[in-house]
Amino acid sequence: MRNRNTAPRKPRTPAQGAGSPQRPRHREGGGYARGEHTRRRLLDAGIELFAELGYERASTRAIARRAGVSLPALQYYFGGKEGLHRACAEYITEDVRARLGPAAERVRMALGRDDLTRAELLDLLRAVVEPFLEGLAMERPESWALFFARAQGEQNAAFDAIFQQIGGRLLTLVAEIIGRILARPAASPEVAIRAVIIVGQLTLVRRARPLILRALGWPDFDGERLQTLKEVIWRAIASSLR
Amino acid sequence: MRNRNTAPRKPRTPAQGAGSPQRPRHREGGGYARGEHTRRRLLDAGIELFAELGYERASTRAIARRAGVSLPALQYYFGGKEGLHRACAEYITEDVRARLGPAAERVRMALGRDDLTRAELLDLLRAVVEPFLEGLAMERPESWALFFARAQGEQNAAFDAIFQQIGGRLLTLVAEIIGRILARPAASPEVAIRAVIIVGQLTLVRRARPLILRALGWPDFDGERLQTLKEVIWRAIASSLR
DNA sequence: CCAATTTTCTATCGATTGATATAAATCTGT
DNA sequence: ACAGATTTATATCAATCGATAGAAAATTGG
């Protein structure tokens, strides 16, 4: 009935600085076991629901409920909804990066030789592209890939972080291999465009997932069908590089 | 202060049947000039804001404000937010269909011959693919393509309608041409997948636009650069079909 | 066991959302 | 100009949202 404050307040913005409020105020050295547990539960529930419903539809209440914790716990650990979302993105990014890193490093080493045949270069491309396709889009819980797709579609701040960590490295690596195959400088527009196209094709598997499934009349990507999909995509990529 | 109704109401669901409440209650034969005008304004504003912010973030108030009409006008003409969204999808769909239709018909006629060479088939593919690329992704306001992308990402009901009207036809047509080129049945998974990939590549130009620009170090797609982009994409598509 | 810290819970706030009731304003056909 | 239909505008509703206050409960080190 009565307003305590006549000035128009903005309670939607977090009280803490806009920097990174996701860490609670507890001491650095601290870290109770129970706290870390609910923190993890919130991350899992957040990834699931953000992926399932998108950022807006996933309410903090629903996330807290699925995590089995109370609503203020979300504020306490992540500073707010946006903080949780960013934390989810970082959580996923770190895992994918760890998964993609070794393969990328091996490929980068192999690229040191300058007498690689076309077949060898194609193998290298596959070596860097396949873990990406499997890791990001398939192996991990579907919610992870969906989270990524949502972040990209919604143009969240989370997308920038994810892209710079993963997409950027992948793109430069792919461009380098393609440049070799096409015998053009990796920095040339043609090579860069084709690198983007190829990487884009992979993400398409997730982004246009409902479209693909419906076009094929498939209920889902499972087992053999997934194998077929990967094989066809790869053949298309390989045959396009001449 | 006091509730008029003790029973828990659900005012979020539209009062009319869930069927298609977007048409106002005015007589069929009616149709005042002024009404049609604000109806169109709401459609334009809806497409813009749905594309800009996504379905959830685009509030009915913001849409009405941008359209320059009052809030209840939205309810009056489209029965509610969901109705407006569906109407926007149909509006876009109808335009694209009209734009795509003639070319598709011509290609379908040409496909009647069964002695087409590879080069001729590639020309046909380009004839059906280029209007799509130009019409949906370039010529029309960016918001249209964004609206489409959002609908797919959010798995809205609008996506179903759009897909069946446009995506379906385009895909089956492309699949038919590709099937001929690859000498495989158009209904085979391999051909269907490659059709999806090719069509998807085209939409990438819009959807991954910031990504492409950043990778190329270009400030924007203008004139010659756009031509280069199209040419590279097309060469990649053509050379992948062997 | 105790004091300090960390974690959780209940209750509630203010803002915004989609939708509606209701009446005034506008337009159409006669 | 008038009656009836159509269109617009004002004011408000109930629900839900993210966030917070403040106290209770739990955990830790001493």
Distance in angstroms between the alpha carbons of the first and the last residue of chain B = 73
Residues of chain A found within 8 Å of residue B240, distances taken between Cβ atoms = 236-237, 239-240
Taking the CA atoms of A49, A53, A59 and A62 in sequence, report the sign of the dihedral they define: negative
Using left for φ > 0, alpha for ψ between -120 and 50, and beta otherwise, residue A164 falls in: alpha
> Which are the contacts of A107, defined by CB distance < 8 A and separation ≥ 6?
A124, A127, A128, A173, A177
CA/C1' separation A212–C15 (Å): 41
Q: Mind telling me how many Å the CA of A187 is from chain B's nearest CA?
A: 8
Query: Chain B: residue nearest A212 by CA?
Result: B196
In 3D, which of A19, A3, A23 has the Cα closest to residue A11? A3
Report which residue type is found at A14: P
- Six token digits for residue B125: 């593919």
DSSP label at residue B4: S
**B125 CB and strand D closer than 7 A:** no
CB B118 within 8 A of CB B177: no
Distance in angstroms between the alpha carbons of the first and the last residue of chain A = 73
**B28 CB and strand D closer than 7 A:** no
Partner residue opposite A236 with nearest CB, options B207, B208, B240: B240
CA distances from B32 to A9, B66, B72, B79 (A): 44, 22, 18, 18
> Which residues in chain B come in under a pLDDT of 50?
1-29
Give the closest residue to C28 (Cα–C1′).
B32
Q: Which helix (H) or strand (E) holds B55?
A: helix B33-57
pLDDT at residue B153 in the model: 66
- What domains, with CATH codes, occur in chain A? 33-78 (1.10.10.60), 86-240 (1.10.357.10)
Give the closest residue to C21 (Cα–C1′).
B72
Residues of chain A found within 8 Å of residue B224, distances taken between Cβ atoms = none
To the nearest 10°, report the CA torsion of A186, A190, A193, A195.
Answer: -40
Query: Chain A: residue nearest B149 by CA?
Result: A153
Q: Mind telling me how many Å the CA of A33 is from chain B's nearest CA?
A: 37
pLDDT tens over chain A, length 242 residues: 333 333 333 333 333 333 333 444 443 444 566 668 899 999 999 999 998 888 899 999 999 999 999 999 999 999 999 999 999 988 888 887 887 888 889 999 999 998 999 999 999 999 888 877 776 555 456 667 677 767 766 666 666 666 666 777 888 899 999 999 999 998 898 999 999 889 888 877 766 777 778 778 888 777 788 888 888 989 999 999 98
CA dist B163 and B18 (Å) reads: 21
H helix intervals, chain A:
33-57, 60-67, 71-78, 81-110, 118-134, 142-154, 157-162, 168-182, 189-207, 209-216, 224-240
**B11 CB and strand C closer than 7 A:** yes
Cβ–Cβ contact B71 with A under 8 A: no
pLDDT in tens, B43-55: 999 999 998 888 9
CA/C1' separation B60–D7 (Å): 19
Q: Which of residues 1-30 of A touch strand D (CB under 7 A)?
A: 11-12, 14-15
Q: How far is CA A184 from the centre of its chain?
A: 30
CB A137 within 8 A of CB A205: yes
pLDDT in tens, B155-206: 666 666 666 677 778 888 999 999 999 999 998 989 999 998 898 887 777 6
